[in-house]
A and B are shown apart, each in its own frame.
Chain A
Amino acid sequence: MSDITHHIPEPMLAAYAAGTLPPVFETVVATHVSMCATCRAGMQAHEMAGGAVLEEGGAVDLSDALKADVLALLDAPAPEDLPAPKRKGIYPGPVMAALKSREPRWKSLGMGVRQSILMDGPDGSLRLLYIPPGRAVPDHGHNGIEMTLVLQGSFSDETGAFGVGDLEVADEELDHTPVAGEGLPCICLAATDAPLRFHSVLPRLLQPLFRI
């Protein structure tokens, strides 16, 4: 964990603390923060800034009954919260939540590459990717932002090397070819806010089929 070198960009961490990231990106940020003390401290800094805005922005008078209403409710039983899913193996709590505490349901993408889709909708998609050692993720670009967080193994691409806990945030300008490192298969949590565009003909034909 202390080896994490690729962190959450500052505007994204601020948006996360303010709760304005789309759910697919929010899940990736929450997962990285679960693995990274540096970004957890950063998140808490942004919450502190939010607290300052809350405290200093100005007060509005309450209606007369509100305080008595709230005080009268203190002894009422607390609403039951479902316990947050716990880390299991390589999957931190937020991934287990997205998996609804089940095992990933892997589907083959060919060449030993597999995916398990966790969320898919108009606001983007979230998936687990499984890439055998030394294998490349098919060459692709993206229309929007793509976040890739390593949960096991490693990968490298034109921009650098990424190990467990490292997060790559790529925008539409980056056309990259991630290649899994040697050793354990690379398992990543990947989120995009727009469909991936694959350059090689075959994967593009497969796109509707695999919803990639």
Chain B
Amino acid sequence: MTDGQDMTDQTAWMLAVRDARDKAAFARLFDYYAPRLKGFVMRGGMDAALAEEIVQDVMLTVWHKAAQFDPERAQVSGWIYQITRNRQIDTIRRTGRTMPEELKHEDDHEPDAGQVLAMEQEAGKLKQALSRLKPEQRAMIEKAYLGDLTHQEIRDQTGLPLGTIKSRIRLGLDRLRHELKELREP
């Protein structure tokens, strides 16, 4: 599984960081994600200096918490997205964010390359689906995931294609759900 064949570069770099503490791979991850992260945080309304502070913290968290990255259950961008939102929420809320219990793999768990690739393919399809949305729908999706919409606003946005998101990754979800069930019910 560690030969990196057919995986996206980002996943291969992330696994090299996780398994080999590879600083060169981390530098490539940085080059790819840090400018995108800065753009993401600034679109959420933060100024450039504060945005870079968040980029720095998020990328250091990626390095320090690499052991928590599980390519069977998340793909790199989604994992970094979640770290970023946690960090942003820490700056605006007094109390930290409440996360679900972590699921623990068995220590000798061998990652399933098929599942990893399936996850990546679904992520690719999802990106394509988002790029094909009408501009106003796309803008609304962007606002929702930037954290600019309240739950009430998401609920009221009947044009928000949450169903599209769900259906594009249904196959991946079904696999994921199956795997999670086995984790919970040994």
Residues of A within 8 A of B (CB): 1-2, 9-12, 14-15, 17-21, 23, 25-27, 30-31, 33-34, 37-38, 40-63, 66-67, 69-71, 73-74, 78-79, 84, 86-87, 92-94, 97-98
B123 surroundings in chain A (CB, below 8 A): 48, 51-52
Answer yes or no: B69 CB below 8 A from chain A CBs. no
Residue of B nearest to A52 (CB): B127
Q: A49, B126: Cβ atoms under 8 Å?
A: yes
B39 to chain A: which residues have CB within 8 Å?
57-60
Within the assembled complex, what's the spacing in Å between the Cα atoms of A34 and B43? 31
Query: Mask for B20-59, Cβ within 8 A of A = 1, else 0?
Result: 0001001100110011111110110000100110011001
A47 touches B79 (CB 8 A): yes
Interface residues of B in 141-157 (CB under 8 A from A): 141-142, 144-147, 149-151, 154-155
Interface string of B105-148 (1 = CB under 8 A from A): 00000000000000000110011001100000000011011110
Bound together, the chains give a CA A146 to CA B64 distance in angstroms of 38
Give, as a whole number of angstroms, the nearest-CB distance from A82 to chain B: 10
CA distance A14 to B36 in the complex (A): 21
Q: How many contacting A-B pairs (Cβ < 8 A)?
A: 212
Q: What interface size band does chain B fall in? A: 35 or more
Residue from the list A11, A40, A47, A48 in contact with B162, Cβ < 8 A: A11
| Residues of A with C-beta under 8 A to B103 | 40
Residues of A within 8 A of B63 (CB): 74
Residue of B nearest to A86 (CB): B101
Partner of B52, one of A15, A18, A19, A63: A63
Could you list 10 A-B pairs, sorted by A, with CB under 8 Å?
A15-B149, A37-B177, A44-B73, A46-B145, A47-B81, A48-B75, A51-B77, A54-B40, A54-B80, A61-B38
Given A50-B82, A51-B123, output 13 extra A-B contacts at Cβ < 8 Å.
A15-B149, A19-B85, A30-B100, A47-B74, A47-B79, A52-B126, A53-B130, A54-B80, A56-B131, A57-B36, A59-B38, A70-B34, A84-B99
* B142 nearest CB neighbor, chain A only: A53
CA–CA, A122 and B153, complex, Å: 20
Q: Is A37 a contact partner of B180 (Cβ separation < 8 A)?
A: yes
The answer to whether B184 and A74 touch across the interface, beta carbons within 8 angstroms, is no
Q: Are B81 and A94 in contact (CB-based, < 8 A)?
A: no
Which residues of B sit under 8 angstroms from A37, Cβ to Cβ?
A: 177, 180-181, 183-184
> Are A67 and B34 closer than 8 Å at their CB atoms?
yes
Q: Which residues of B contact A15 (CB under 8 A)?
A: 144, 149-151, 154
Residue B185 CB within 8 A of the other chain: yes
- For the complex, give the distance between the alpha carbons of A48 and B80 in Å: 10
Given known A54-B37, A57-B36, A78-B64, contact A42–B145 (CB-CB < 8 A): no
Closest to B94 in A: A23
Are A18's CB and B130's CB within 8 A?
no
Residues of chain B in range 172-186 having any CB-CB distance to chain A below 8 Å: 172-173, 176-177, 180-181, 183-185
- Are A41 and B180 in contact, CB atoms less than 8 angstroms apart? yes
